[in-house]
A and B are shown apart, each in its own frame.
Chain A
Amino acid sequence: MTTANHRWRGFKNGLMQSVTLTCAILVIAPLVLVFSHLIASGIGAVNWDFFTKLPKPVGETGGGMANAIVGTVVLLGIASLVGVPVGVLGGVYLSEYSFSRLNGWIRFAADVLNGVPSIIWGMVVYELVVLPRKGFSAWAGGIVLGMMMIPLIMRTTEEVLQLVPNGYREAALALGIAQWRTIIQIVVRTALKGIVTGVLLSLARVAGETAPLLFTALGNSNWNRNLSDPIAALPLQIFSYAISPYDDWHRQAWAGALVLLLLITLINVGVRVLTRDRFQQSAR
């Protein structure tokens, strides 16, 4: 082994390391870019009024997005009502009950659904809910987001339930505990943090959806007083303000984007806290 050979190896090693490091930095770069840009453009319009006031008509300055913030929370609430029970129970079925060939098909369907573009979800719910009820509504918006959550929650639930050691199931069944009780009180309880993590991740994922809401919740420049009426949502408000020709609305759109991103970041921080806790517990 000559010195030149060593040097060539050292060079290759250094090259490889710098290429991978560059790529790793490129992963973080967009996040830093987006955050810094949003803060620079949006922080000026984020004030007390932004969180408490309704949008002002064109021409008047000021006003806020209180209705859109509340609207997003309401939509996520309805979405959870739809998505969490179906998703979690579907995941429980996949993991705990069925050993049939049906399972493979359900899994495959869930994976396909995960990849379905969100605008198609919007069209489906437009056909299923908006047209029959002859109107855009908060319900329709919540339902479309909930439907998008189902396959995500189902797969993560199944995965975390599979991580629960079989010994716990056997121990419970050997005590003469019925299977449904074993599943709820032993298996799901053991994996609860993982399930909640999956639910939060799916919420973070759908919180920023815009396209399906255009077909369903529509948006509203006022407070929503009836869930059968259209409702405002942050992504919708950002969209309609951003494509408007008014400078004041552009500022508001930046602020809305910043708030939405902070909301999603907050959910992800919650996920981190939960998962860190789980590792600590298993390390004990």
Chain B
Amino acid sequence: MSLAMTTGEETNPPAGRPEPRSVPVRAAAPKARDAAAAPRTAVPALAIRQLSVCFGANQVLKEVSLEIEARAVTAIIGPSGCGKSTFLRALNRMHELVPEARMTGEIRLFGEDIYASRVEPVIVRRRVGMVFQKSNPFPTMSIADNVTVGLRLNGLRARATLLDRMEQSLRMAALWDEVKDRLHAPAISLSGGQQQRLCIARALAVQPEVLLMDEPASALDPLATAKIEDLILELKQDFTIVIVTHNMQQAARISDFTAFLYLGELIEFDQTRKIFTSPSKQQTEDYVTGRFG
């Protein structure tokens, strides 16, 4: 089994090539791509063009277009109800869980159209992982089982690989040292911040290329939040991260790029430094300085 696995993707699939259906999960960690060699203008991790999403008659996103750079942190900010979460969910087709959701436009993941008719949402979600606002470790499972669940339920059986991947993921999520002596304790015995890092480890274990985070620290205390933020800065070495946040300081601290959404429209998208120091739109300035929202 493990042999069959390692013949699969060793690194992120190159642009335009669909991930083979026969490879349920990548067995090996994605190799850190050569950052110096890859010019900043390489294929974006996600290219979103004219994305509109409606729930029934309610249009939540209006023709949003932006490109998300690989191995960088992109923050999505905006007042409640502006479509941030919907935008995030469209990136791994999670919005499809709502039956009346309709989407138009195009999203390319490393050049590949994730809404093409032959692409299964399940495969998209393996490549684009997600961490939610409310930590949700599976209550029936131990800490270890929570981390490996995505691999096991996608058909990976090799015990050694699972153990490797579990330790690696917990280390990446900066949780290993805290839980290594009680890997078989129930996941819900962890504290809130630990649970959220466990959820991040669980998402990392399936080796996604992009990690979507929907206000991952909004339910945590300042210390746990700081840990998550450090973690995000670590993770951007290997992963592309898109984070929705209500916390302006957080966006300024951790992101490289910031998109400001308002009432379903993309008002401004630029480098974070620019958004927070000299935005080109008055609305953006009003929002980041706290004058509305």
On A, residues with C-beta under 8 Å from B are 99, 165, 167-178, 181-182, 185-186, 189-190, 192, 281, 284
Decide if B132 touches A176 in the complex (CB within 8 Å).
no
Q: How far is the CB of A19 from chain B (nearest CB, A)?
A: 43
Residue numbers in B under 8 Å from A175 (CB-CB): 125-126, 129, 149-150, 153-154, 202-203, 206
Residues facing A in B117-158 (CB within 8 A) are: 122-127, 129-130, 132, 134, 136, 138-140, 149-150, 153-154
Q: Is B263 an interface residue (CB 8 A)?
A: no
Residue numbers in B under 8 Å from A176 (CB-CB): 25, 122-127, 150, 154, 206
Query: Known contacts being A176-B122, A284-B188, is A171 close to B129, with CB within 8 Å?
Result: no
Q: Is B92 an interface residue (CB 8 A)?
A: yes
Residues facing A in B204-254 (CB within 8 A) are: 206
Decide if B122 touches A174 in the complex (CB within 8 Å).
no
Decide if B153 touches A177 in the complex (CB within 8 Å).
yes
Residue numbers in B under 8 Å from A174 (CB-CB): 92, 94, 125, 129-130, 132, 203
Q: How far is the CB of A102 from chain B (nearest CB, A)?
A: 14
On B, residues with C-beta under 8 Å from A are 25, 92, 94, 97, 99, 122-127, 129-130, 132, 134, 136, 138-140, 149-150, 153-154, 186, 188-189, 199, 202-203, 206
Residue numbers in A under 8 Å from B94 (CB-CB): 170, 173-174
Residue numbers in B under 8 Å from A169 (CB-CB): 97
**How many A-B Cβ pairs are below 8 Å?**
76
Residue of B nearest to A282 (CB): B139
- Tell me the bound Cα distance from A271 to B55 in angstroms: 42
- Tell me the bound Cα distance from A153 to B97 in angstroms: 26
Decide if A177 touches B154 in the complex (CB within 8 Å).
yes
26 A–B contacts, CB within 8 A, in A order: A167-B132, A168-B136, A168-B139, A170-B136, A171-B130, A171-B202, A172-B149, A173-B94, A173-B125, A174-B130, A174-B203, A175-B125, A175-B126, A175-B150, A175-B153, A175-B202, A176-B25, A176-B125, A176-B126, A177-B122, A177-B149, A185-B149, A185-B153, A190-B140, A284-B188, A284-B189
Q: How far is the CB of A189 from chain B (nearest CB, A)?
A: 5
Residue numbers in A under 8 Å from B129 (CB-CB): 174-175
Residue of B nearest to A190 (CB): B140
Decide if B150 touches A99 in the complex (CB within 8 Å).
no
- Tell me the bound Cα distance from A10 to B202 in angstroms: 60
- Tell me the bound Cα distance from A176 to B152 in angstroms: 11
Residue numbers in A under 8 Å from B202 (CB-CB): 171, 175
Residue numbers in A under 8 Å from B136 (CB-CB): 165, 167-168, 170-171
Residue of B nearest to A189 (CB): B140
Residue of B nearest to A99 (CB): B99
Query: Known contacts being A176-B154, A284-B188, is A171 close to B140, with CB within 8 Å?
Result: no
- Tell me the bound Cα distance from A190 to B129 in angstroms: 22
- The residue among B129, B130, B140 with the most chain A CB atoms within 10 A of its own CB is B140
- Tell me the bound Cα distance from A134 to B129 in angstroms: 60
- Tell me the bound Cα distance from A181 to B132 in angstroms: 20
Residue of B nearest to A173 (CB): B125
Q: How far is the CB of B170 from chain A (nearest CB, A)?
A: 16
Decide if A190 touches B126 in the complex (CB within 8 Å).
no
Q: How far is the CB of B93 from chain A (nearest CB, A)?
A: 9
- The residue among A99, A168, A170, A281 with the most chain B CB atoms within 10 A of its own CB is A170
Q: How far is the CB of A177 from chain B (nearest CB, A)?
A: 5
- Tell me the bound Cα distance from A181 to B153 in angstroms: 7
Residue numbers in B under 8 Å from A281 (CB-CB): 139
Decide if B97 touches A170 in the complex (CB within 8 Å).
yes
- Tell me the bound Cα distance from A173 to B188 in angstroms: 20
- Tell me the bound Cα distance from A206 to B94 in angstroms: 43
Q: How far is the CB of A192 from chain B (nearest CB, A)?
A: 8
Q: How far is the CB of A175 from chain B (nearest CB, A)?
A: 4
Q: How far is the CB of B112 from chain A (nearest CB, A)?
A: 16
Residue of A nearest to B130 (CB): A174
Q: How far is the CB of B33 from chain A (nearest CB, A)?
A: 22
